[in-house]
């Protein structure tokens, strides 16, 4: 599951190389895998994890509305900022998760 999340995340971020259609497909797969990951680990989740899931959903919908309302460049700029923020949040999430595994 974690490897599928990682692969879909990497493909989502390679939008200049793969193109927008692959980016859309990978982002949908990443969102669905995040939801499944949250359901699987729901007993160990804290409120910060739900905030991260909300950030991923917000990035997804800002990209979706950016495609629908392509005349408004502010929406796509907001999508870029939210996406960069979710990359940092994911890095922090992975760092904390692996740190907890090493302690156990």
Delimit the domains of the chain by residue range: 2-103
**How far is residue 94 from each of residues 22, 67, 70, 88, 103, measured CA to CA in Å?**
24, 30, 33, 10, 14
Mean residue pLDDT of the chain comes to: 85
**How far is residue 17 from each of residues 2, 12, 67, 79, 83, measured CA to CA in Å?**
23, 10, 19, 19, 17
Question: Which pLDDT score, from 0 to 100, does residue 81 have?
Answer: 92
Residue 48 has pLDDT above 60, yes or no: yes
pLDDT cut 70: percent of the chain above it: 94
Counting DSSP H helices and E strands in the chain, the numbers are 5, 0
Residue 102 has pLDDT above 80, yes or no: no
Query: What is the C-alpha to C-alpha distance for residues 45 and 62, in angstroms, rounded to an integer?
Result: 25
Residue 50 has pLDDT above 70, yes or no: yes
């Amino acid at each position: 599951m974690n490897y599928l999340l990682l692969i879909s995340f990497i493909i989502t971020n390679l939008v200049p190389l793969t193109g927008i259609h692959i980016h859309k497909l990978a982002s949908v797969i990443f969102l669905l895998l995040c939801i499944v990951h949250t359901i699987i680990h729901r007993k160990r989740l804290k409120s910060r994890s739900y905030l991260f899931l909300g950030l991923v959903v917000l990035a997804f919908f800002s990209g979706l509305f950016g495609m629908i309302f392509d005349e408004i460049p502010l929406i796509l700029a907001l999508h870029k900022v939210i996406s960069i923020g979710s990359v940092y949040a994911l890095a922090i999430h992975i760092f904390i998760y692996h740190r907890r595994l090493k302690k156990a």
